[in-house]
Amino acid sequence: MGDVAIEFIAKVHMDFEASTKFISFFVPAGPMCAKLCIYLALNPNLAISLDSGVGITGSDKAGEPMAHARELRFSGRVFVYADQELSEEETNLVMEAGKSMGLDVRVRGPLYAAKQIDVENPLAFISHDGRDKESIARPLAHELLKLRCPVWFDEYSLVVGASLRESIEDGIKRCKRCVLIVSKNFLGNRGWTKVEFNGVFTKEIVEKNASILPVWHEVSRAKVFDYSPSLADRYALDWSLGVAKIAKKLNDAVRRVPVA
């Protein structure tokens, strides 16, 4: 019997603000699905090499030079999406294969997709600066999901190939509440973070609802006031409370109907 060709999709997801990237593989159903998943977990370079010719030009006021995709740090996160459900043993083998390579591998199958139906109608949009993703935004998103509070978070909600602007605007429109992670990075970002803030603030004006839920991280009221006097006037949760307590308070808030 000759060799059988199996097609799979490899993607590199790049966050130029956070200077990181992660990868995903999409594996078709079939008798070799589990073995291919293991093989891909052992060979992340099959995807990482795809970004060798990608570059982006900075447009901030500081006039930063062109940033190249290969300069981004690989976060070690690998998502393997299988078109058939793997057994618990097979899933563990895939994750262990990745672990042997120093990777954090997550396996997603049809059941996972079914459980994510609620996320298609998220309750909260998480707006953050990319540099705060690993230390603040991601832990908060995970805690909220543990409380069964579906959120719009770029790593969960952005679809490969979709328009970034359209995806963000759609997320803001569909969410009941918008969580703003207000940090020094957030206040200093005049790029996408500012665009998101403007969109969230416009949502409040149009819908006449108080939908903004600020979370402050090592910022003063004076600095927030300089950024937006209206934002400084809002009751905010301080990150020093701890991510678990903040997630619980936000979960309680997003499940209440916003009031004017």
Q: Which residues are catalytic?
A: 196
Separation of alpha carbons 210 and 177, rounded Å: 8
Whether 25 contacts 40, CB under 8 Å: yes
How far apart are the C-alpha atoms of 125 and 175, rounded to whole Å? 6
260 CB-contact burial (10 Å; exposed 0-12 / middle 13-18 / buried 19+): exposed
Closest residue by Cα to residue 215 from 253, 181, 178, 254? 181
Per-residue CA distances from 72 to 48, 66, 67, 75, 254 (Å): 11, 12, 8, 9, 35
From edge to edge, which strands make up the β-sheet containing 9-15? 9-15, 20-27, 73-82, 104-108
Helices 164-174 & 192-207 angle (0-180, nearest 10): 30
User: Which residues have C-beta within 8 Å of that of residue 257, sequence separation ≥ 6?
Assistant: none
Q: Is 221 helix (H, G, I), strand (E, B) or coil?
A: helix
What are the residues whose beta carbons fall under 8 Å from the beta carbon of 56, sequence distance 6 or more?
16, 66, 67, 69
